[in-house]
């Protein structure tokens, strides 16, 4: 028996805002979209250039209140081959929410409050 990671789901309040963030901040692109027949939700699957793993963004169209992420410190981590340029870009975007210089990492926050860790490749 063999298991492989497929995707991680994040529920978002505004799909267009989230797609723009993931495109600008992380270079992610939509590889697949699925809409419910009754128009109640839309799914966008994003991937990086390697295409081995996906993030599924789900927008429940009747949802109006922000999601309560509670105290769950779950996060997704991205490696970058140009840490300094990535840090500058995220700093310019104003989305860095935590940094640990001693460990050589920082976190950015997406429009819905999810934290994404950035580390050197």
Q: 7-62+74-120 adopts what CATH topology?
A: 2,3-Dihydroxybiphenyl 1,2-Dioxygenase; domain 1 (3.10.180)
pTM reported for the whole predicted model: 0.91
Any idea what the Cα angle at residue 86 is, between residues 10 and 113, rounded to 5°? 30
Mean pLDDT of 89-117: 97
- Name the catalytic one among 24, 99, 117, 121: 117
**Sequence-distant (≥ 6) Cβ neighbours of residue 84 within 8 angstroms:** none
35 is catalytic: no
Mean pLDDT of all residues in the chain?
95
CA distance 56 to 68: 18
CA distance 27 to 106: 17
Is 80 exceeded by the pLDDT of residue 97?
A: yes
Quick one: pLDDT band at residue 74, thresholds 50, 70, 90?
A: confident
Mean pLDDT of 8-29: 97
Mean pLDDT of 30-38: 97
């Amino acid at each position: 028996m063999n298991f492989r990671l497929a995707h991680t789901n994040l529920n978002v309040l505004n799909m267009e805002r989230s797609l723009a963030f993931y495109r600008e901040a992380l270079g992610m692109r939509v590889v697949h979209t699925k809409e419910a027949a009754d128009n109640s939700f839309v799914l966008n699957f994003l991937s990086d250039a390697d295409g081995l793993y996906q993030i599924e963004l789900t927008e429940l169209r009747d949802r109006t209140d922000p999601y309560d992420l509670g105290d769950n410190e779950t996060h997704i981590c991205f490696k970058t081959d140009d840490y300094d340029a990535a840090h500058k870009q995220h700093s310019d975007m104003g989305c860095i929410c935590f940094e640990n210089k001693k460990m050589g990492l920082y976190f950015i926050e997406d429009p819905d409050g999810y934290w994404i860790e950035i580390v050197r490749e």
